[in-house]
Every structure is written in structure tokens, then in C-alpha cells.
Amino acid sequence: MVCSACGKCGNSVATRIAYALILLVNSILSWIMLTKWAIEKLQHLMLDYVKIKCGEGDCYGWLAVHRINFALGMFHLVLAGLMLGVHSSKNPRAAIQNGFWGPKIIAWLGLIVLTFFIPDTFFQFWGNYVALICAMLFLMLGLILLVDLAHNWAEYCLGQIEESESKTWRVVLIGSTLGMYVASLAMTVVQYVFFAGSGCSMNQAAITINLLLWLVISVISVHPTVQEYNPKAGLAQAAMVAVYCTYLT
């Protein structure tokens, strides 16, 4: 898409950027579809063949958003199936992953169009049950990957400190950890100020529980028992969990 219409991207970084741009466009499109104006335009373009309604009236973009994201999920699922057994970019099938952007974008857009011909009842079930479970699994996977990233970062910094006794790397490690905690605290304050007013008991409970949980995780991360089994565990990983969970809250 970025590198060429149908050609092969030069490297894996370009491929990741291209897929990230697809996700960005998909997210923007989903946001636009939340408006009543977008739904009315969509129904008009489809000659009123498709009516986006819920059981108790218009739900505007709720079903449209699920349709768009369902199409993107199916798009990546098909690509994953085509990539089974591919372990190197030298494999001929790797070209499907790294190139053919024109056909892939057409296929993605085609899937979006096709989802609007699927009955609303399917997406009502999908949105209330399947998508909810998948979203939870996705968030957990994201958290695991971020904790692993924080662990590798802390491990690298500690290695640099032990090898060269550099104060710079010590400042970098402490500064990054402190920065994540400051960001978590700042977001928590903003949440209390703007989203936890009188009468918003559910919001207050969610924000407070999140705050208490990341404080508990921070204490556990420096507990002697944890340090005994994993000496390189520490506040960097806990800070990553704190900023991620606070952002999600």
C-alpha cells in the first residue's frame, strides 16, 4: 500500500507499517460509523436494502462497527491460514504477507461490503458474546506482550549498568519507570476529575479498583519472594502494567 500498489514491500518494517495503517483506517472508519449521519448515508448508498436497526430501535453505528471489525478479523484470519508453515521470507508464500497490497486492500474492502448483507441478529449475538470474549483475550495478550517488553528493557538496562557501571543507563531505567508511574497517576487524576463525579459510582469504583491493583502489583514486584525467584523483576514491569491498565480504564 505504501511501498507500491501491488508490489512487495522492501522489508518487514514496511510491512508492519502498512498493516498498522490498515488498522488506523479501519479504526477511523469505525469511529465515523458511530454517527447517525454515517448510517443514513450508508443506507442511502445501498438503496435502503440494508436497514441497520436493533430490537428496540435504531442503534446507529453499533452494528456497523462490529461489521467493519469483523471484516478486518476475517481478513487477517484468512492471511494467517495462508501463512501456515511459513517460517522465512524466502518462502514463496511470504510474498502474500509482504506484498500484493492492491489485491489485499480490495479483498478487505470487499469483506466489509459483504458483512452488511449478514443479518443483524448475527452481529447482535457476536457483539454481546463473541466479541466481548475476544476483546478480553486481546487485552490480556497485549498486557503480556507489554510486560515482556518492559522485562526485556529492564534486563537490557541492568546488563548495561553491570557491564559499564554507567550512571546514564541507571538514569534511563529509573527515569522510564518513574515516567510510567507519573503518567499512570496523571491519568488517574484526570479520570477522577472528569469521569467520576457525583452519581458516577461505577466509574468511581473502576478507577479506584485499578489504582489499588497497580499499587498492589508494584508492592508484589519488589517482594523478597519474587526477587528470590526472579532477581531482574521489579518496578519497570509493574509500571508498564500500571500505565496500560490505567489507559484502558
End-to-end CA distance of the chain: 34
> Residue 27's pLDDT is what?
92
Give the whole-angstrom CA distance, residue 217 versus residue 150.
14
Using CA atoms, how far apart are residues 87 and 96, in angstroms rounded to an integer? 13
Q: Does residue 168 sit in the same domain as residue 207?
A: yes
Tell me whether residue 128 is in a domain. Answer: no
Are 95 and 167 within one domain?
A: no
Count the domains in the chain: 2
CA distance linking residue 62 with residue 120, whole number of Å:
11
The domain of 159 spans: 138-248
Per-residue model confidence (pLDDT) at position 8: 47
179 alpha-carbon distance from chain centroid: 21
* pLDDT above 80: residue 24: yes
Q: Quick one: 85 and 142 in the same domain?
A: no
Euclidean distance between CA atoms 201 and 149, whole angstroms: 35
Nearest partner of 69 among 124, 115, 17, judged by Cα: 115
CA dihedral 131, 104, 109, 81 (to 10 degrees): -30
The residue behind cell 447482535 is 124
**Last residue of one domain, picked from the residues 88, 118, 148:** 118
The confidence score (pLDDT) of residue 137 equals 92
Domain final position from 67, 87, 118 = 118
Same domain, 165 and 73: no
In a domain, 158, yes or no: yes
148 and 220 fall within a common domain: yes
Distance of alpha carbon 44 from the chain centroid:
32
* Phi, psi angle pair for 89, to nearest 5°: -70, -10
Instruction: Name 57's bridge partners.
Output: 54
pLDDT above 70 as % of the chain: 89
Separation of alpha carbons 243 and 179, rounded Å = 10
Q: DSSP code of 129?
A: I
* Tens digits of residue pLDDT in 209-242: 999 998 998 898 888 888 888 777 788 888 888 8
Q: Verify that 142 and 114 share a domain, yes or no.
A: no
Check whether residue 182 and residue 235 sit in a common domain: yes
Give the model's pLDDT for residue 48.
Answer: 61
111 part of a folded domain:
yes
Domain assignment present for 211: yes
Residue 7 lies in a domain: no
- Whether 208 is in a domain gets the answer yes
Same domain, yes or no, for 36 and 82?
yes
Return d(Cα 216, Cα 204) in angstroms, integer: 18
**Residue 181 reports pLDDT greater than 90:** yes
Burial 190-225 (b: 16+ CB within 10 A, else e): ebbeeebeeeeeebbeebeebbeebeebbeebeeee
Q: Are residues 108 and 23 in the same domain?
A: yes
Which range among 153-157, 182-186, 232-236, 243-247 shows the weakest confidence by mean pLDDT? 232-236
In a domain, 126, yes or no: no
Can you tell me the distance from the alpha carbon of 187 to that of 157, in angstroms, rounded to the nearest whole number?
27
Evaluate whether residue 2 is within a structural domain.
no
Q: 191 and 223: one domain?
A: yes
To 10 degrees, what angle do helices 201-221 and 167-195 make? 160
Give the pLDDT confidence score for residue 190 in this predicted structure. 92
Residue 198 sits in the same domain as residue 104: no
**pLDDT tier for residue 51 given thresholds of 50, 70 and 90:** low
181 in the same domain as 114: no
